Amino acid sequence: LAVKDPTAVERANLLNMAKLSIKGLIESALSFGRTLDSDYPPLQQFFVVMEHCLKHGLKVRKSFLSYNKTIWGPLELVEKLYPEAEEIAASVRDLPGLKTPLGRARAWLRLALMQKKMADYLRCLIIQRDLLSEFYEYHALMMEEEGAVIVGLLVGLNVIDANLCVKGEDLDSQVGVIDFSMYLKSDDDIGGKERNIQIAAILDQKNYVEELNRQLNSTVSSLHARVDSLEKSNTKLIEELAIAKNNIIKLQEENHQLRSENTLILMKTQHHLEATKVDVEAELQTYKHSRQGLDEMYNEARRQLREESQLRQDMENELVVQVSMKHEIELAMKLLEKDIHEKQDTLIGLRQQLDEVKAINMEMYQKLQVSEDAMKEKNEIIGRLEDKTNQINAAMKQLEQRLQQAEKAQKEAEAEDEKLKQEYMNKSESLQKEFSQKEKQLLQLETDLKIEKEWRQTLEDDFHKEKETVSHLRRETQEIVHLKKEFLKLQEKNKQLKRICQDQEAALEELASKLSESKLKIEDIKEANKALQGQVWLKDKEATHCKLCEKEFSLSKRKHHCRNCGEIFCNACSDNELPLPSSPKPVRVCDSCHAILIQRCSSNVP
């Protein structure tokens, strides 16, 4: 018979005991019909069975005084793996009557049963087997499949409602002994199958109701979270609405202010327009009286204005052209700088390539010299070997001649009488010995010849290899010559590019000088324009008397304005006239600055 593993038998017995205790506890609780207390015997037996299951295969822990073997260590791990178990662990540690770790473990089991989460907590422990291996042996119930089965059976205990008082109970000194008399079958159990079926149906309904309650709790919590988020978003939207309303009120006030300002501006412009209309009508009446004498001067002034405007347009066009030329020159300068940098990079690369080619050429030249020296040495060795082979051939011929002579002598000796055979037996034996010695010498010479032939073949192979290397080196030298030619071409191209760059730099210098001259001219023109812009016309109301004769202006004494110095003279005082090629009549000139005088009819129109 095969011997069974004792640890496997222990696990099977504990699993069967757990099944019986859980089944008996559920059946008795349902028949009892109310919440269970700590004095209920099946409940006490269930805790004892659970202690035995958790103690199976526990490793012995060393301490200062003795060896400990408690289940509180693995149960403490649940706090780290399952955050909801922190409350149980904290409450167990805070209990005043508990002094031993076994008492804490018993209190923890009772609180987990009251929470209806014992199966969830132990499932987290079974999943983390690498952590459990610190507390249990490899053959322990919690490390094998039986532990998972017990956790599945513990799910059925969620049907039971337990109300246990842990605080006043002495859990440290309890003796955990299993009472097997509770699990023996009786006649009442056999006859109560229908009752068990009803109890199972009630249990299923209770489980369904509890699961529904859990789902409803989760949905309620999610709805609460949504309501909180919606309230927060609503408060944010209300704040944003209040800010937007304040902004709208501010914008409306600004709109009213702008409208009032707009109406004031409109009123001022209307008053100003009416005043200007009155002035214009008065000036038109005076202008109609003096129009005939002013037409000629007006045409001349108009021509001069056109000429000056044309000159100004030409100058502006020249300015635009010069600015565009400047931009083009700057772009050309940038492109030239880029080309020069690129060419310098290519030159540096070519120089590096030249240095590399020179280094390769020197290496190839040195290799050529070494190979030529090796070829000379090998040719000398070949000549020596040929001399040796000739000597060996001569020795072979001599040996063959001797062999022929020996054979002739042997035939003559055989042809003699039998009498002389006995006398010459010793001589024949000596001759045979000499013949064997000479055969041995022949074999040695043949082996030497074979070795020399093999050596010669190896030398010929080396010679062919050296020839191939020499041809390869010649090809490389031809490539180096070709690279030198290309380098010379590149040098010529570089010189041409340098010449082009120098020409472009000279052109740029010329353009820069021209640009500086044009800038100076533009600055002179700008200064002249500023001098002209700085002078302001005097108003008609202010200019009432001539500056020279100090007489009032009238229709007979008309006003003449100097565009350069800004002074106003009458037609009687400004008698200086100069002929101009552009106008048919001579032009009146200012006495102080000698600039052209312009007759004007009003404060704004020259």
Q: 379-394 pLDDT, tens per residue? A: 888 888 888 878 887 8
| Reduced DSSP (H G I as helix, E B as strand, rest coil) percent helix, strand, coil of the chain, to 5 | 75, 5, 20
Amino acid identity of residue 591, one-letter, is D
- Name the one residue in this structure whose structure tokens are 């409306």: 252
Is 545-605 CATH 3.30.40.10?
Answer: yes
| pLDDT value of residue 552 | 75
Tell me the C-alpha distance between 424 and 409, whole Å.
12
Model confidence at 540, in pLDDT bands (50, 70, 90)?
low
Q: What pLDDT is attached to residue 243?
A: 92
| Residue of higher predicted confidence among 301 and 137 | 137
Q: Which of 43-57, 83-97, 518-532, 583-597 has the lowest mean pLDDT?
A: 583-597
Q: Which residue has the higher pLDDT, 153 or 210?
A: 153
Q: What pLDDT is stored for residue 479 in this prediction?
A: 85
The 8-class DSSP code of residue 134 comes to: T
Distances (CA, A) of 278 to 267, 284, 537: 17, 10, 21
Class of CATH domain 6-183 = mainly alpha
Of the candidate ranges 4-8, 217-221, 379-383, 565-569, the one whose mean pLDDT is the lowest: 565-569
Residue with tokens 């009488």: 417
For the cut 80, the answer to whether the pLDDT of residue 122 exceeds it is yes
Taking residue 4's Cβ as centre, other Cβ atoms within 10 Å add up to 9
pLDDT tens sequence across 483-501 = 888 888 888 888 888 888 8
Q: How confident is the model at residue 605 (pLDDT cuts 50, 70, 90)?
A: very low
- Answer for the pair 114, 120: CB distance below 8 angstroms, yes or no: no
At residue 564, the pLDDT reads 60
pLDDT of residue 1: 38
Question: Is the predicted pLDDT of residue 21 greater than 80, yes or no?
Answer: yes
Q: What is the pLDDT of residue 558?
A: 66
Give the burial class of 424: count Cβ atoms within 10 A of its Cβ; 0-12 exposed, 13-18 middle, 19 or more buried. Answer: middle
Round to whole Å and give the CA distance between 364 and 163.
Answer: 101
Pairing of strands 559-562, 577-578: unpaired
Query: What is the rounded distance in angstroms from the CA atom of residue 588 to the CA atom of residue 596?
Result: 6
Q: How far apart are CA 250 and CA 234, in angstroms?
A: 24
Kindly report the number of other CB atoms within 10 A of residue 12's CB atom: 13
pLDDT (tens digit per residue) in 174-220: 777 777 777 665 555 555 556 666 767 777 777 778 788 888 888 88
CA distance 402 to 407: 9
- Judged by average pLDDT, the poorest of 201-210, 332-341, 468-477 is 201-210
Q: Where in the chain are the domains?
A: 6-183, 545-605
Question: What is residue 565's DSSP assignment?
Answer: T
